[in-house]
Amino acid sequence: MGQQSNLKRFWRHGDALWEALLVALALAFLVLVLHIGWMLWQDSELSRRAFGWRFLIPTAISHWNPAKGLFQAWPSIYGTLVTSLVAIVLAVPISIGIAIFLAEICPPWLRLPLNYLVEMLAAVPSVVYGLWGIFVFLPAVAVSAGNFLAATLGKVPGLMALFHGPIPTSGLSRLGASFILTIMIIPTIAAVSRDVFLAIPREQREAALALGATHWEVIWDVLIPYGASGFLGAIILGLGRALGETMAVTMVIGNSVEGSYSLLRPGYTMASIIANEFAEAVKALHSSALMEIGLILFGITLLVNVMARILVWRVSSRVPGR
């Protein structure tokens, strides 16, 4: 009887059951991540044995020839990193500005429709961004911006390799992909950053105003440092989407395996080359090379998330009262 009553009390007590469920789900997620990594490692064995570190190391001439069995990942790795970094550099100031306006400056009657608009842009399918980019944005904006960069920064020593032109008349290039990624991640970063501003206690604002700070000084010197960990989390969330974005980037980056470092030339990202070629990979070495690229992308994503967690923790520990 005693054991039965203890068992009944255990099942009636929701905290213990809920805690066990959460632990089980966390362990299941960990097992899933490890299984994905192990699967990618196993399926890329043929490529790793055939190419070793030569698969990753940049060379003067890039090799990606399924017919001859020659593969290198560095052009797609470079394309992923450079498009994501350019997108983050462009998106962060715009997103933080939008968040500041929505949370601190916007009139109440306008705040709600603008909030809906930002959240709606975050929900637009990536293929729609890709189609809009191909037919509207790239010919109108990316081509003009690319020609300007080629005529200015493309002639500066040290930057010539990065802005060597000309950009294709269609606008399909790493620069075009960076612009589309920027537009795609702005709503995500802006929405999370807005919520960070709204979560900061009102006492922080009132204390700064009481000491004679202007509205801008309250935002710049009080609110942004106080919510730094949240803003960093929003930026990492946007970076994660940029690194893994597939469809829109595949449609606008040009899908070329040339070894150019220029933002104005077509290229590949790791996600786009897998999406483009996996269904057509009939040889085992070709499939294994694509699997190894997937393994590299998986590793980069995990590394970014671990570094982000460490940075968020360090920033949070520096803020008094957090």
Positive or negative CA dihedral for 95, 241, 153, 144? Answer: negative
**Inter-residue contact 258 to 62 (CB < 8 Å):** yes
Is residue 235 predicted with pLDDT exceeding 60?
yes
What does the pLDDT read at residue 251? 93
Q: Does the domain at residues 44-318 carry the CATH identifier 1.25.40.10?
A: no
Examine the pLDDT at 43 and tell me if it is beyond 80.
yes
Mean pLDDT of all residues in 141-166: 88
DSSP 8-state code for residue 269:
-
pLDDT of residue 287 exceeding 60: yes
* Gap between the Cα atoms of 286 and 274, Å rounded: 11
Q: How confident is the model at residue 55 (pLDDT cuts 50, 70, 90)?
A: confident
Q: Tokens 């055939």 sit at which residue?
A: 50
Question: What's residue 316's pLDDT?
Answer: 66
For residues 256-285, average pLDDT: 87
Specify the DSSP class assigned to residue 254: B
The predicted structure's pLDDT at residue 38: 95
Place of tokens 């010919």: 139
Q: pLDDT band at residue 83, thresholds of 50, 70 and 90? A: very high
Residue 8, pLDDT score: 63
> In terms of Cα–Cα distance, which of 305, 245, 306 is closest to 271?
245
Q: Using one digit for the tens of pLDDT, what is the confidence trace for 86-110?
A: 999 999 999 999 999 999 888 988 8
Between 284-318 and 270-277, two packed helices, what is the crossing angle to 10 degrees? 150
Q: What is the chain's mean pLDDT, rounded?
A: 87
- Domain boundaries defined on the chain: 44-318
Name all contacts of 96-102 with Cβ < 8 Å and 24+ positions apart.
96/189, 96/190, 96/193, 96/224, 96/231, 98/186, 98/190, 98/193, 98/194, 99/189, 99/190, 99/191, 99/193, 99/194, 99/196, 99/197, 100/197, 100/219, 102/190, 102/194, 102/197
Is the confidence at residue 1, as pLDDT, over 60? no
Q: Which of 8-12, 92-96, 252-256, 315-319: highest mean pLDDT?
A: 92-96
- The whole-angstrom separation of Cα 24 and Cα 29 is 9
What would the mean pLDDT of 58-75 be, rounded to a whole number?
A: 82
State residue 5's pLDDT score.
Answer: 63
Q: How far is CA 150 from CA 101, 164, 170, in A?
A: 34, 6, 16
Backbone φ, ψ for residue 51 (5° rounding): -115, -25
Confidence at 135, pLDDT banded by 50, 70, 90: very high
Question: Partners of 70 in the beta sheet?
Answer: 65
